[in-house]
Chain A
């Protein structure tokens, strides 16, 4: 943030007073909005403690159900992450290959999976694969769709990482008489992975965000579980706990993602401090990849 400090003078006493007054009025306005929302919620009886208590009511089974849903969400994300990392690394090697018959098809595969919306990929796995005899189910379809898309993104990340390693490293390794695969696995990959670690974790956040697409294809992740709990309770008690359950599901998602983001930032700081990778340039996911849902550039024709 070098420019932000030259964009304006450090505010003097009068400007600071003006800012304080503005902050006060703006703060009042925001508080009024929040108050209004709370008031409407109160009128509709959404703030009654009894309604929120259901979230912690072990006998009604709500904490267990939400906990299981969280585990299921993390499970699909973990499976997809591991598979996508392995396949992404292989694709990255393929794209950097010296042989055109490997390089060209791999490039086509990467570009194809980055160009198709993730939801369409998941729907394809869910609807088409059973027709050709592969029973995948909602979990399989979600995991497979996430894997296919993220392996393409990760392949690009790995490729950028491998290319960012100083050229002299590769040349020195060849000069020592190492084979191509030795150079790759012993010299380039270890250095690239250290550089790419923050970005890899950031991609895990994106993947976890995308697992919420399970809601649309009927996989019981957090949102779908909240929905089914709402339907169950509505049947028994009427429309009592809808808002509370939805808020809980959304909050769990946001908290887990924020925690992972903090972890990514921590790892990035650690990497920066390490002198062995001091040359680390700007390692950050581009904004479009962070958007998830099949974000990422399409190669121009």
Chain B
């Protein structure tokens, strides 16, 4: 099982959580799993077998001409995506706090009965 397959499996687990759980907090956990799976997907794209972290060094210990490096761009992209997903989670939790203070419940079924 490659990391890419695992990330897609995680995506499906997250989607299942968002769709089928009744508790709003669990739905947000599902969203967080989805975002984490996308991060894993990107990191898996950039990974190379036996690659080093792509840091330029002037020392002789690392022979940068023959050494394999992992692709740094997906990692840089994922720093941004993690920030976005954190702020998304924060907004979602803020909304849930407000919903709870109005309705005193987090159950979707009860929320939509009202």
A binds B: no
Q: Which residues of A contact B (CB under 8 A)?
A: none
